[in-house]
Amino acid sequence: MMNTLPYPLLVSDIDGTLLDGHKRISSENKRSIARFRKQGGVFTLATGRTYMEAKHFIDELELDFPVILCNGTLLFEPATKRLLPVTTLPVTLIKRLLADAMERVACPMELIAYGIDTIYITQLSPATRAELTAEGNLELNVVTLDSFDTLPEVPYLKVVIIADPQEMPQVVAWSKTLHSFPLDSILSADNYFEILPRGSSKGAAIAKLLHQLQLEPRQLAAIGDHCNDLAMLQLAGLGAAVANAHPQVLQQADVIVPRHDEHAVSHLIEHFLLPTLSEQTIK
């Protein structure tokens, strides 16, 4: 049945796309995802979140196909419950990067180093800490250090810089000077800037999953809202942006669907991914 669908694989971003304004998956979205899967489609998520931050939604949707985490640096394999790093950064590079940021970026910012199952901080604002430990993220392992000089010798997936959106251009300008670092960077929200191992993206990770399914990129549909979704929308045969998306994403998209709080994923599935009743009758 899968190959009778025009886009047998659908990959969705989570925040600002699948979730509504209350950070929930609407019943409409869940119902359409179930219909898509029942007709042979494969559905999964691609997010900047860690596993523990995404676990609630993975469980709620009962996903059985690998989930892309940390903007493509990590996969979660539901069948084996394993976390599989795709690309990582050595601790020596992380320490140099964080020291450079603290020395050369003048605006107030919060820095987070992401290990495979733990995040490392020195200090966070009450608002950020509350967000990280919100309901659904209670098992997230947060380690507070006196200094990033004491980061443990573990693989790292990414660094996140949190800053006021009005100050974010300073962070972006700083990132463009990091020529000696083998890194890529992306704005994943108006106040979140992510630094990743070179070559990492949601699109690069999805390409691996397409190979696993023996599908071509033209058979992929993807939906997102921010700049970290651009790579997967560029790869996809059908790239969809929610109406609340970043201007660059709206420009890149093949189709624009309703806002994230208006059941955007359901709209995409029902209007573009599933055959109409007449089409099913003809077949």
In this structure, the answer to whether residues 209 and 266 fall within a common structural domain is yes
SS3 sequence of the chain: CHHHCCCCEEEECHHHHHECCCCCECHHHHHHHHHHHHCCCEEEEECCCCHHHHHHHHHHCCCCCCEEEHHHCEEEECCCCEEEECCCECHHHHHHHHHHHHHHCCCCCEEEEEECCEEEECCCCHHHHHHHCCCCCCCCEEEECCCHHHCCCCCEEEEEEECCCCCHHHHHHHHCCCCCCCEEEEEEECCEEEEEECCCCHHHHHHHHHHHHCCCHHHEEEEECCHHHHHHHHHCCEEEEECCCCHHHHHHCCEEECCHHHCHHHHHHHHHHCCCHHHHHHC
In this structure, the answer to whether residues 21 and 101 fall within a common structural domain is no
pLDDT at residue 20, as a whole number = 96
In this structure, the answer to whether residues 15 and 79 fall within a common structural domain is yes
pLDDT of residue 132 exceeding 90: no
pLDDT of residue 154 exceeding 90: yes
In this structure, the answer to whether residues 171 and 207 fall within a common structural domain is no
| CB contact at 8 A, 204 and 184 | no
Query: Which of 139, 167, 197 is the endpoint of a domain?
Result: 197
In this structure, the answer to whether residues 185 and 123 fall within a common structural domain is yes
62 forms beta bridges with none
- Residue 256 lies in domain: 2-86+200-282
Segment 113-129, tens digit of pLDDT: 999 989 999 987 888 77
Query: Which of 145, 179, 197 is the endpoint of a domain?
Result: 197
In this structure, the answer to whether residues 206 and 76 fall within a common structural domain is yes
Q: What is the CATH number of the domain that holds 69?
A: 3.40.50.1000
Query: Which of 153, 176, 197 is the endpoint of a domain?
Result: 197
Segment 228-238, tens digit of pLDDT: 999 999 999 99
Q: Which strands sit side by side in the sheet containing 238-242, from one edge to the other?
A: 42-45, 9-12, 220-224, 238-242, 255-257
pLDDT at residue 282, as a whole number = 36
In this structure, the answer to whether residues 101 and 190 fall within a common structural domain is yes
Model's pTM, two decimal places? 0.87
In this structure, the answer to whether residues 193 and 206 fall within a common structural domain is no
Q: How many domains does the chain have?
A: 2
Where residue 136 falls (left for φ over 0; alpha for ψ -120 to 50; beta otherwise) is left
Segment 248-276, tens digit of pLDDT: 999 999 999 999 999 999 999 999 999 75
In this structure, the answer to whether residues 216 and 264 fall within a common structural domain is yes
**Distances in Å between the alpha carbon of 51 and those of 58, 141, 262?**
9, 11, 26
Structure-block tokens of residue 217: 């990129």
In this structure, the answer to whether residues 141 and 219 fall within a common structural domain is no
In this structure, the answer to whether residues 56 and 10 fall within a common structural domain is yes
In this structure, the answer to whether residues 101 and 191 fall within a common structural domain is yes
Q: What is the CATH number of the domain that holds 170?
A: 3.30.1240.10
pLDDT at residue 124, as a whole number = 79
